[in-house]
Amino acid sequence: MKAQQESSGQRRARWFQWVGLLAVGVLLAGFVGPGRAADEPSTDRWIPLFNGKNLDGWTPKITRHALGENFGNTFRVEDGILKVSYDKYKQFDGQFGHLFYKDRFSHYVIRIEYRFVGDQVKGGPGWAVRNSGLMFHCQAPETMRKEQDFPVSIEAQFLGGTGKGERPTGSVCTPGTNIVMNGKLITQHCINSKSKTYNGDQWVTAEIEVHGSGKVKHIINGETVIEYEKPQLDPRDADAAKLIKGKNLLLEEGYIALQSESHPVEFRKVEIRLLKK
């Protein structure tokens, strides 16, 4: 009987030990595993989205023009540079453009080198001087109205200095969308970053780190200039309202697009590094 009691006690001890190890394993999986996976690159290789030769993989959508119509040869490739040009425009006339990449993305870091050159085309709005950007989590370009100025998306705004005062780049704007900052829903259209001003025609490197419907970070020349989270559709916006399915407003993925907003701008690198979900 004594031997049987000792054996039973030992079995109970081993059972409790096994349960304890299992619980620790669950905690580690819940708190360490996914958290680390979300921050780890699925590859260390940067994948070029722009080949330096032509616009293969990219499709323009310009206000009042059909999808695919590159009015005035606005988007072009010259000397290995992707250029936004207006030399064939008589006047801007509100023809805002977006050059969409063919694939959707969710968790990634995108890196772009850009610079502003020359003068704004006649008729461009004052706020669009030395102004462009990267739109991400975009609606599909084929779902845009012909007259629609901007896709429903989140914009990492690129601004060049005018030589007068401060003009930070890497800010965030939200056409048809909202974001959350410091736990609060932000419905203001644009929020300034804390970047310094970049005057002249110098090249600037922008990195946008996107974790699906989670955190987003804008990095300019290696410095984090703004962070936010929970990019989401704005039900008050007519174009966004058409995209809402059920009660979920969060944007987990979408297309990316480069802007043409009336000031010539050049891109010499557009590349992406995918992240694990």
User: Which pLDDT does position 277 carry in this prediction?
Assistant: 81
In the structure, what pLDDT confidence band is assigned to residue 255 with cuts at 50, 70 and 90? very high
Structural contact between residues 37 and 59, judged by C-beta atoms closer than 8 angstroms = no
Q: Is 110 helix (H, G, I), strand (E, B) or coil?
A: strand
Lowest mean pLDDT among 8-17, 70-79, 240-249: 8-17
Q: Which amino acid is at 206?
A: A
Helix H or strand E encompassing 215: strand 215-220
C-alpha distance from residue 175 to each of 33, 42, 84, 153, 224 (Å): 35, 30, 21, 6, 22
The predicted-structure confidence for 160-198, as pLDDT tens digits, reads as follows 999 999 999 999 999 999 999 999 999 999 999 999 999
Per-residue confidence at 44, pLDDT binned at 50, 70, 90? confident
Q: What is the pLDDT of residue 156?
A: 98
How far is the C-alpha of 154 from the C-alpha of 156, rounded, in Å?
Answer: 7
Distance CA 36, CA 277 (A): 10
**Between 237 and 28, residue with greater pLDDT:** 237
pTM (2 d.p.) = 0.85
Average pLDDT over residues 208-229: 98
> What is the residue-wise DSSP string for 38-94?
HHSBS-SPPEES--SS--TTEEEEETTS-TT--GGG-EEEETTEEEE--TT-S--TT
pLDDT of residue 40: 58
Q: Which residues neighbour 244 within 8 Å (Cβ) at sequence distance 6 or greater?
A: 233, 235
Is it the case that residue 266 has pLDDT exceeding 80?
yes
Query: What are the tens digits of pLDDT across the range 103-152?
Result: 999 999 999 999 999 999 999 999 999 999 999 999 999 999 999 999 99
- 222, two tokens: 């290696």
Q: Report the share of the chain in percent with pLDDT over 70.
A: 84
Q: For 60-69, what is the mean pLDDT?
A: 98
Cα distance between residue 106 and residue 75, in whole Å: 25
Rounded to whole angstroms, the Cα distance separating 57 from 140 reads 14
Reading the block at residue 37, the tokens are: 């996976």
- Tell me if 248 sits within 8 A of 259, measured CB to CB: no
The pLDDT score that the predictor gives to residue 4 is: 40
Phi-psi region of 194 (alpha: psi -120 to 50; beta: other; left: phi over 0): alpha
Residue 7 has pLDDT above 50, yes or no: no
Residue 272 contacts by C-beta under 8 Å, 6 or more apart in sequence?
A: 46, 47, 49, 105, 108, 109, 110, 111
Helix (H, G, I), strand (E, B) or coil at 85: coil
Encoding tokens for residue 172?
Answer: 């965030």
Separation between Cα atoms, residue 112 and residue 121, nearest integer Å: 23
pLDDT of residue 42: 58
State residue 43's pLDDT score: 58
262 pLDDT above the threshold of 80: yes
Q: Is the pLDDT of residue 28 over 80?
A: no
pLDDT score of 157 more than 80:
yes
Mean pLDDT for all residues in the chain: 89
- Is residue 95 within 8 A of residue 62, CB to CB? The reply is yes
Q: What confidence score (pLDDT) does residue 41 get?
A: 56
DSSP 45: P
Nearest one of 233, 235, 236 to 254, comparing CA atoms: 233
